[in-house]
């Protein structure tokens, strides 16, 4: 199936809501067993993510990958979602979901700790992913966009020659060949918070170019496509909120502050 053919249908959504239990700093801070149930602005994070997806015209079915599928019953907003059992890592959870979801492509993948996800972000990402012609597309937000809106936000930056970017926890599998990218992800997912190690997985040349800020984002995607054996592309998103997930207490405080500002407005 080509990316163009996949574009004829709505995306299936997969929300990764795996859990480290009370060992997770956000879960511990909020007094919940599972991070996806941590309240943000009075609602569980998972509920906010599901609500954004459910309201998006680009999204059809919604699946949620959880350590304990029964957790989904604690989130009334997710009543129409289908629960899947997560695996040991995010990449393995995606591979398992691909095996279990019939006709799952095109597949949008996001995470339950993305409470600022919105209909507008989903629309921009889906449009960009379809237009990329790639097998797999990943959402990114430029550092300039994030810092202009929220200078206090602390992110992990991928520093390229043209700009620095933060991941947006948004991925699109558009063709069966995109599975190759997920298999590669399994090899490098432990390096996601160490950009130089992530780039180093594609060889010494790209690593040196990255370290000396001579590697552009598009060049990195082209190199990744050759190594992985599937075409991967970046979707640049003009929304600072796309880069803000909740991994620690400071992230939670930032998201709460953003929601308060919106309420006041």
Domain range for 170: 3-264
How do residues 139-188 score in pLDDT, each as one tens digit?
Answer: 999 999 999 999 999 998 988 999 999 999 999 999 999 999 998 888 77
| CATH classification at residue 118 | 3.90.550.10
- In order of 192, 194, 225, the CA distances from 200 in angstroms are 12, 10, 14
Predicted confidence at residue 189, as pLDDT, reads 67
User: pLDDT tens digits, residue range 206-249?
Assistant: 554 555 477 899 988 998 898 889 999 999 999 999 999 999 99
| pLDDT tens-digit map of 43-81 | 999 999 999 999 999 999 999 999 999 999 999 999 999
**H/E segment holding residue 126:** helix 119-132
Name residues whose C-beta falls within 8 Å of residue 126's C-beta, 6 or more positions apart in sequence.
11, 56, 58, 108, 172
What is the count of structural domains for the chain? 1
pTM for the full predicted model: 0.90
Q: Report angle CA 1, 81, 76 to the nearest 5 degrees.
A: 160
Dig out the tokens for 68 from the structure.
């304990």
CB 243 within 8 A of CB 141: yes
Q: How far apart are CA 118 and CA 49, in angstroms?
A: 8
User: Across residues 102-127, what is the average pLDDT?
Assistant: 97
């Amino acid at each position: 199936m080509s990316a163009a053919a996949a574009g004829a249908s709505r995306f299936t959504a997969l929300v990764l809501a795996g859990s480290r239990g009370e060992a997770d700093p956000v879960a511990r801070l909020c007094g919940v067993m599972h991070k996806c149930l941590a309240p943000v602005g009075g609602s569980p994070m998972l509920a906010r993510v599901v609500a954004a997806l459910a309201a998006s015209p680009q999204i059809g079915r919604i699946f949620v990958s959880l350590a304990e599928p029964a957790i989904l019953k604690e989130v009334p907003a997710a009543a129409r979602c289908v629960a899947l059992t997560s695996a040991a890592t995010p990449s393995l959870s995606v591979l398992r979901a691909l095996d279990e979801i019939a006709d799952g492509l095109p597949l949008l993948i996001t995470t339950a700790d993305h409470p600022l996800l919105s209909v507008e972000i989903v629309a921009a990402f889906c449009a960009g992913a379809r237009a990329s012609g790639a097998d797999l597309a990943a959402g990114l937000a430029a550092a300039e966009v994030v810092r202009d809106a929220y200078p206090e936000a602390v992110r992990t930056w991928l520093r390229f020659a043209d700009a620095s970017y933060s991941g947006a926890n948004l991925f699109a599998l558009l063709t069966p060949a995109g599975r190759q990218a997920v298999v590669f992800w399994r090899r490098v997912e432990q390096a996601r918070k160490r950009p130089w190690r992530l780039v180093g997985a594609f060889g010494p040349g790209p690593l040196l170019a990255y370290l000396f800020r001579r590697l552009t984002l598009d060049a990195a995607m082209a190199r990744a496509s050759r190594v992985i054996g599937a075409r991967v592309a970046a979707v640049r998103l003009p929304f600072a909120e796309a880069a803000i997930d909740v991994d620690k207490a400071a992230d939670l405080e930032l998201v709460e502050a953003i929601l308060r500002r919106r309420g006041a407005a």
